[in-house]
Amino acid sequence: MLSELGNLSVLISIILSFFLIFFSLRELKLNLIKPTSKIINLSRLQLSFTIMSFIILLLGYLFSDFSIINVYENSHSTKPLLYKVSGVWGNHEGSLLLWINVLVIFSYLFFKKNIGVNKKFQLLTLIFQNILILGFFIFLVTTSNPFSKIFPVPQEGLGLNPILQDPALAIHPPLLYLGFVGSSIYFSAALASLISKFDGKNFATVSKPWVLISWLFQTLGILVGSIWAYYELGWGGYWFWDPVENSSLIPWFLMTALFHSILVLEKRDGIYLWVIILSILTFTMSVTGTFLVRSGILNSVHTFANDPSRGMFILTFLSIMIFSSVYIFYKFSPTEERSFKFFSKEFFILTNNWFMIFFLITVLIGTIYPIFLEVLTSQKISIGPPYYNTVLAPFLIPLLFIMAYGPKTSWIISKPFKIKKILFTLLISSLITFFIIFLIDQKNYLINILLISSLYLILQSLFDLFKNLDNKKQKKTFVNKSSLVSHLGFGLFIFFISLNSIMSIEYDLNIKVGEKKQLNEFEISLDDLKVYDDKNFKKFVGDVTILDNKNNIIEKLKPEIRIYNSPETITYEASIKSNIFSDTYVTMSNISRSEFYNIKFHKKPFMNLIWLSTILIVFGGFLRAIGRKF
Amino acid sequence: MKNFKQLFISLIFFGILFSNLFANDNLQNKIYKNLRCIVCQGQSIADSNSDFANTIKSVVNDKVNEGMNEKQIYNFLSQKYGDWILYNPPLKGNSYLLWILPYVFFIIGAIVLFFLLKKTLKHKRY
């Protein structure tokens, strides 16, 4: 029943997409000032039916309708409500439906918001967006229909992978999708803008909010994902430079570059073509990432159940997207004349773009190089954290200094640096770094310089922030507070990451129940092991005590080994005691054919502060999104 | 002014000198992190709980105790399991491009920026 309804509403949405394209094309030729209400109504209908198809799938999960294969494969009647809901997008088919929903929602909102801006631009954007929608609907129907039926109807579902049964992971995919699928709207708008010869300045004004919104969600999505990885994977880290993490980071670099450079276009009417290129690239890269993940080409923790025909479809679609964008770009791109002075906001923003593109290219090369190498020479190599750290980290140093100055510069031509102030700030940040080096054993040059430069950015942003809060009268020296907040957040982020990387302590030991192990400055004992039965899993809980040199108890922790029954999976739950300055982190696993347990003990400083500084980065963007005053 | 600079430069210098006195990173842990668990999906030896990872850990421990240095251990393991096991691909024939390309693009970016600054550019596309 639900299955038929689902298929029906998908079908209606597809037909509505055709209608939208058809009528928009017709209205393009008519002599109108703005699109007629027919288009808006069609768009609204499309929105309703697409959301309805999603709700129907959701109902399938809520009522455990196992006649739908997708529900049968990914749900279970005893599963908690939250994970029934998140199960909808915890699999390929459902997440594709979510993807399409985001495409449609953004399409509708963009259309609604910009009525009367420019008829041709608006209709063309709608057409391009609907071509995307149609493409993904066809993908959904032909290779990954979430509403396919199964007969005879099974009594019970197979259950959701326990590692995905987690609140952070329940909201991680929707956030990310709002980010990188949201970028589709400025992809479409960029192509439309080229063809309709839309004014560059207006294009910037119209698409700026969408870039910012998608960036906000993308950042949050990445943050939630890495928080999840930190406590759920039990590996003690929060970023693994996993290919799939990389494919969420690549669009992030582009969005960051874009919402900086779009300001140049808005305020100075320059670099129109570059902004267009970035807009097109962001969504293209998002789809490329999806292709790499869903086709199973990459070896990664995120790999979904994959299927070559899906890979082929996305690859074909991607190629069409790229070729037609390149064609439209060459055919319609206008002549542009612009020059910049060295000391201007324009220049600083372009420098940001330069670094972002460098980061992007490095991450991209690191992600796809092994694939190409294997295809061409059948040699297999791995590219992991050491590569990215070596190549990327040194470039953060100049970036941090540039970020300290960017927000203060003015358009066209800025006042020269005040050398004395720069040196003073440098002096203070070096002193603080010096003090830190003194406190902890520290041997890494790169980290020392990173500490100095991130402190420099932090101090500079704080000075500027306080200065701008103070004298409200001085409107002449208007400095964007939201960007100061975000830059401050980034400075703190790098500062805490650097400290975390050098101050983390970790031990990996094998221990029997009742045994004690002496480490350098700690003593660890596994006092007891208890077995409990829970609703849908059985768990072994270890009692781990951490003592210091003088035999004082520092922490008592309870890491778990969980054995889920549907589907049968073993997961290792980290036990984390966390405060603002430091996390104590223990995971436990059994070693097969022996009575030993493997205990990983981490002391990880400033984890919460790393999360908080990322939230500060997002907060800056949020301030900008809600009001022009900031 | 001059004093400021001198003070600053000497500070940095001392910072670097001073900081080099300490070195107590746990070698084994560092090596675990740079090895891929080749039976897992994108996990390092340090992260993994698999039997394979446990075996490799004990191999690494033995080799460290035998007095092998980091590089020798990587060589030993990559001879046995191929470069696939190393997260930090060594610079050789098949990875020159990997290590060089990012810098090439960085320089290209610099050149583009330079020309943008230098004069009013007349350009159709870039």
* ipTM score: 0.86
- Among A165, A200, A235, residue at a domain's last position: A165
A397 belongs to a structural domain:
no
**pLDDT band at B100, cuts 50/70/90?**
very high
Which pLDDT belongs to residue A490?
Answer: 96
What mean pLDDT do residues A499-505 have? 87
Residues from chain A that touch B11, judged by Cβ atoms under 8 A, are 427, 430-431, 434
**Choice among A226-235, A258-267, A612-621 with the minimum mean pLDDT:** A226-235
What pairing do the DSSP bridges indicate for beta strands A522-533 and A537-548?
Answer: antiparallel
A625 belongs to a structural domain:
no
Task: Say yes or no: A18 and A158 in one domain.
Answer: yes
Query: Closest to A437 (Cβ–Cβ): which among B7, B19, B116?
Result: B19
Q: Cβ B89–A338 below 8 Å, yes or no? A: no
A227, pLDDT greater than 50: yes
- Among A487, A503, A519, residue at a domain's last position: A503
A517 belongs to a structural domain:
yes
Which pLDDT belongs to residue A39?
Answer: 92
d(CA A577, CA A140): 44
**pLDDT band at A606, cuts 50/70/90?**
very high
8 A C-beta contact, residue B67 and residue A365: no
**pLDDT band at B21, cuts 50/70/90?**
very low
The distance from CA A588 to its chain's CA centroid, rounded to whole angstroms, is 29
Which pLDDT belongs to residue B7?
Answer: 58
- Among A503, A537, A569, residue at a domain's last position: A503
Q: Cβ B41–A342 below 8 Å, yes or no? A: no
Query: Closest to B94 (Cβ–Cβ): which among A333, A377, A572?
Result: A377
CB count in 10 Å sphere of residue A37: 10
**pLDDT band at A599, cuts 50/70/90?**
confident
Q: For B124, which residue in chain A has the nearest alpha carbon?
A: A335
H or E, element range at B33: helix B27-33
Q: Cβ A358–B41 below 8 Å, yes or no? A: no
Task: Say yes or no: A273 and A364 in one domain.
Answer: yes
Of A397, A489, A500, A495, which Cα lies nearest the Cα of A451? A495
Angle between helices A119-143 and A92-113 (to 10 degrees): 170
Query: Closest to B113 (Cβ–Cβ): which among A350, A384, A385?
Result: A350
Query: Closest to A448 (Cβ–Cβ): which among B19, B34, B41?
Result: B19
- Residue A535 three-state SS: coil
8 A C-beta contact, residue A213 and residue A175: no
Which pLDDT belongs to residue A486?
Answer: 94
What mean pLDDT do residues A487-496 have? 96
Q: For A434, which residue in chain B has the nearest alpha carbon?
A: B15
Task: Say yes or no: A34 and A49 in one domain.
Answer: yes
DSSP letter (8 states) at residue A551:
S
Looking at per-residue confidence, does A505 or B11 come out higher? Answer: A505
Task: Say yes or no: A186 and A280 in one domain.
Answer: yes
Which pLDDT belongs to residue A179?
Answer: 93
State what percent of residues in chain B have pLDDT above 90. Answer: 11
Of A427, A52, A6, which Cα lies nearest the Cα of B1? A427
d(CA A546, CA A549): 10
What mean pLDDT do residues B67-92 have? 86
Which pLDDT belongs to residue B23?
Answer: 38
CB-based contact (8 Å) between A386 and chain B? yes
Task: Say yes or no: A459 and A524 in one domain.
Answer: no
What mean pLDDT do residues A556-582 have? 84
What pairing do the DSSP bridges indicate for beta strands A516-518 and A537-548?
Answer: unpaired
Angle between helices A308-332 and A119-143 (to 10 degrees): 160
Task: Say yes or no: A347 and A469 in one domain.
Answer: no
Task: Say yes or no: A63 and A195 in one domain.
Answer: no
Rounding to the nearest 10 degrees, give the CA dihedral for residues B112, B113, B117, B120: 40
A143, pLDDT greater than 70: yes
pLDDT for A266-308, tens place per residue?
888 878 999 999 999 999 999 998 888 777 676 555 555 556 7
- Count of pairs with CB atoms under 8 A, one residue in A, one in B: 177
- How high does pLDDT run on average in chain B? 75
**Choice among A227-231, A458-462, B3-7, B114-118 with the minimum mean pLDDT:** B3-7
Which pLDDT belongs to residue B124?
Answer: 37
| CA dist A522 → A67, A549, A554, A584, B23 (Å) | 55, 6, 9, 12, 19
Task: Say yes or no: A106 and A204 in one domain.
Answer: no
Q: For A340, which residue in chain B has the nearest alpha carbon?
A: B117
Residues from chain B that touch A380, judged by Cβ atoms under 8 A, are 82-84
> CB under 8 Å to A494, separation ≥6 — which residues?
A396, A400, A450, A453, A454, A457
Task: Say yes or no: A200 and A55 in one domain.
Answer: no
pLDDT for A510-546, tens place per residue?
888 888 888 877 888 888 888 998 877 888 899 998 8
Query: Closest to B119 (Cβ–Cβ): which among A236, A339, A420?
Result: A339
Q: Cβ B34–A366 below 8 Å, yes or no? A: no
- How high does pLDDT run on average in chain A? 87
A176 belongs to a structural domain:
no
Task: Say yes or no: A547 and A512 in one domain.
Answer: yes
**pLDDT band at B19, cuts 50/70/90?**
very low
Of A88, A105, A108, which Cα lies nearest the Cα of A96? A88
What mean pLDDT do residues B92-104 have? 89
A193, pLDDT greater than 70: yes
Residues from chain B that touch A395, judged by Cβ atoms under 8 A, are 106
Query: Closest to A273 (Cβ–Cβ): which among B7, B82, B125?
Result: B125
Q: Cβ A448–B47 below 8 Å, yes or no? A: no
Domains annotated on chain B, with CATH? 26-118 (1.10.8.640)
A619 belongs to a structural domain:
no
Q: For A571, which residue in chain B has the nearest alpha carbon?
A: B49
State what percent of residues in chain A have pLDDT above 70. Answer: 95
Look up residue A491 and give its two tokens: 């400075």
**Choice among A54-63, A92-101, A309-318, B102-111 with the minimum mean pLDDT:** A309-318
A358, pLDDT greater than 80: yes
A421 belongs to a structural domain:
yes
Which pLDDT belongs to residue B115?
Answer: 81
H helices of A229-271, in order, are: 243-268
Rounding to the nearest 10 degrees, give the CA dihedral for residues A214, A218, A219, A223: 150
Give exposure, A96-129, as e/b (b: 16+ Cβ within 10 Å). Answer: bbbbbbbbbbbbbbbbeebeeebbbbbbbbbbbb
A17, pLDDT greater than 90: yes
Indicate the number of domains in chain A.
4
- Domain with A159 in it: 1-165
A388 belongs to a structural domain:
no
Q: For A335, which residue in chain B has the nearest alpha carbon?
A: B124
Which pLDDT belongs to residue A595?
Answer: 83
Task: Say yes or no: A491 and A518 in one domain.
Answer: no
**pLDDT band at A471, cuts 50/70/90?**
low
Task: Say yes or no: A124 and A112 in one domain.
Answer: yes
A616 belongs to a structural domain:
no
Region of A446 on the Ramachandran plot (φ > 0 left; ψ -120 to 50 alpha; else beta)? alpha
Which pLDDT belongs to residue A286?
Answer: 93
